[in-house]
Amino acid sequence: MPPRNAGVKSGVRALGVDDGPQKDSTLLVGVVMRPDRIEGVLSTSVELDGNDATAAILKMVAGRFHPQIKCIFLDGVAVAGFNLINYKKLSEKLSVPVIVCTSNRPHPEEFSKALERWPEKLRLWESIRTPAHRLGGVWYQFSGCTGTQAASLIRKFQVHSLVPEPLRVAHLIAAGIELGVSRGL
C-alpha cells in the first residue's frame, strides 16, 4: 500500500517520537504537530533493552490522531537503550513515511557490534539498516517515501533547530517529565 500523501502540504501534521532517560520502563513521548503548532501529545512506555518499541508506537498512534498524521519522525532507530524500532514496519502498517533523524553521524558497524549479544536484535537491525543521508546537520534514513520527499519533510519541520520540530518538542516533554527539567536539542 503506498503511503498516504507523502508530499508536503501546508497543513501537514507530523508525529515526532523520542524517549525519556533510560529506566526499566522508559517513557516514550509522541508529539503531533504542524510546523507552527502542537496539536496533540501521546505517551507510552517501553522496556529498557526490550523488544516492544515498534508495537508500542503502533498502539500509541492507532488512536485519535492516526488519520491526521502524514509523517513520523523518530530520534534514531533505538529507544530505551537497545529497544529497536522497525521503522520500515511502522511505515508499512501506518501507511505513512517514517523518517529517522539524528544530529550525530551514524556508525552502523559499531551499532552492529553492540548488538552482537542479542542475535534477534542484530537480525532486525540488519533488516532495517539502510544508508544514512545528510541534510545540513541532520543525518536521516527513511521508509515509505523517496529521498527527495524525506528531505522536503525534514526542511518543512526544521523550525527552531536542525532537528524537525516534532522531535525537538517530544525530547523537551520527555525530559521535563522524567527529570523535572528539560534541555533543548
Among the CATH numbers 3.30.70.1400, 3.50.50.100, 1.20.120.1200, 3.30.2170.10, which is that of 13-179? 3.30.2170.10
What are the E-state strand segments in the chain?
A: 13-19, 25-34, 37-47, 69-75, 78-79, 83-84, 98-102, 133-135, 138-143
Find, among 3, 38, 68, 36, the residue nearest to 158 by Cα. 36
Q: Over the chain, what is the mean pLDDT? A: 92
- In this prediction, residue 144 has a pLDDT band, given cuts at 50, 70 and 90, of very high
Q: Any idea where the domains of the chain sit in the sequence?
A: 13-179
CB 54 within 8 A of CB 89: yes
pLDDT band at 109 (very low <50, low <70, confident <90, very high): very high
pLDDT for the residue numbered 9 = 53
Q: What is the DSSP string of 132-146?
A: -EEETTEEEEEESS-
Mean pLDDT of 103-127: 96
